[in-house]
Structure 1
Amino acid sequence: MVFSTRDLGRSPGSMETLNEQVPAPADVGNALIGIRGGSELELDLRLEAVHEGILVSGTATAQIAGECGRCLDPIEYDYEADIQELFYYEESEEFEDDDDVDQYWVVGDLIDIDPVLRSAVVTALPFQPVCKEDCLGLCNECGINLNDEPEHHHEVLDPRWAALAQLSDNVTEDSDKN
């Protein structure tokens, strides 16, 4: 998602708005949830020339898709990411020695907002997404969705009593033979 800033020039105070719908990049998210690659991404941005570079501010609206971390049901919703980032001119040396600060650059007359978008969206996504706060998840014995059958359960026999249960079964079989 590279955009030209040629029309802004380098005179502080000049501004341009960018309202576009572009295909969303792939692999924006984590293993369970993220932007659906190729889906429509709506950008509503303002590009402003400032002394140090180009200030990009506005929103990016994307469709988030994934699955619940408890029951694996699909999750889909629209998310509006706020974007505000300064793209420094190449000759700027403001943060050159600081590796801890994310720096974005105007290369030639072009800016790439892909890393800014990724940063804004991925940090806002839930680590363990759920379809609803009280999702019961799946049965750990048989895998049935407990939201559909909340009364579902399995008889759990304490393994310490397993030998006694076998003895009881043997007694029952012997009495049936007689």
Structure 2
Amino acid sequence: SVVDGLMFQGTITARVHAECSRCLMPLHRDWSVDVCAFFAQVESKGGARSNNSKFNRSNGDNDDLEDADIWDEGDDSGNVYPLVGGGDFADIEALIRDTMVSELPLKPLCEPDCKGLCSQCGENLNEHPDHHHDITDIRFAALEGLKQKLENSQNRG
């Protein structure tokens, strides 16, 4: 606790359900993120410290929003949040959401060396590592046929 608010430091752990971006297998992992945030007292126009009712989800009325100043302390780090309930409570929902969303990978992987899916047939290459296709370039198909004829004639002779 500090004079103008509350300092929060901890670790957030959440169960994440996603899909591997390479092989499309479901992922179910616990994801942990260290956080440090400051919950500040918000001052109203009269200079008295109060809560900003738009962050207080315990009551449904938003009448005080017209009287509330825009709360911006010039902190670009994004880790300052208002105290709610007259400064008695720290609503950590926004902190959890902001932290978890920014720390999750954009392309989650089941394993760091995931091989993904075969681009020809969609076979999972992690389950079938020897899977491959003999791809013949149609531009060289006639030459491939000529090669086969030459090899066959050499084998006979």
TM-score (norm 1): 0.56
- How far does residue 51 in structure 1 lie from its aligned partner after superposition? 0.7
* Structure 2 partner of 1:33: none
Give every structure 1 segment of 4 or more consecutive aligned residues whose post-TM-superposition deviation is greater than 3 Å: none
2-structure distance, mates of 1:122, 1:75 = 16
Residue 79 (structure 1) aligned with residue 56 (structure 2) = no
2-structure distance, mates of 1:105, 1:120 = 16
Give the alignment partner of residue 149 of structure 1, picking from 128, 133, 140.
128
* Structure 2 partner of 1:105: 82
2-structure distance, mates of 1:97, 1:57 = 20
Paired AA for residue 146 in structure 1: L
- How far does residue 97 in structure 1 lie from its aligned partner after superposition? 5.6
Paired AA for residue 140 in structure 2: W
1-structure distance, mates of 2:11, 2:112 = 27
Give the alignment partner of residue 128 of structure 1, picking from 107, 113, 127.
107
- How far does residue 124 in structure 1 lie from its aligned partner after superposition? 2.5
**Secondary structure, aligned partner of 2:99:** helix
User: Matched residue pairs, number?
Assistant: 118
- How far does residue 52 in structure 1 lie from its aligned partner after superposition? 1.4
* Structure 2 partner of 1:60: 12
- How far does residue 90 in structure 1 lie from its aligned partner after superposition? 0.5
Name the structure with the higher strand share.
1
* Structure 1 partner of 2:72: 96
Superposed CA deviations along residues 115-160 of structure 1, whole A, max 9, x for unmatched, are 2112322232222221112211100111010111111111211131
* Structure 1 partner of 2:139: 160
- How far does residue 63 in structure 1 lie from its aligned partner after superposition? 0.9
2-structure distance, mates of 1:111, 1:82 = 17
Would the alpha carbon gap of residues 87 and 97 (structure 1) be closer, same or farther in structure 2, given more than 3 Å must change?
closer
Paired AA for residue 82 in structure 2: W
Question: Aligned residues: percent identity?
Answer: 39
- How far does residue 99 in structure 1 lie from its aligned partner after superposition? 6.6
* Structure 2 partner of 1:23: none
> Structure 2 regions of 5+ residues with no counterpart?
44-48, 50-68, 147-157
* Aligned CA-pair RMSD: 2.8
1-structure distance, mates of 2:126, 2:31 = 26
TM-score (norm 2): 0.62
**Secondary structure, aligned partner of 1:123:** helix
- How far does residue 98 in structure 1 lie from its aligned partner after superposition? 2.3
Would the alpha carbon gap of residues 114 and 155 (structure 1) be closer, same or farther in structure 2, given more than 3 Å must change?
same
**Secondary structure, aligned partner of 2:16:** strand
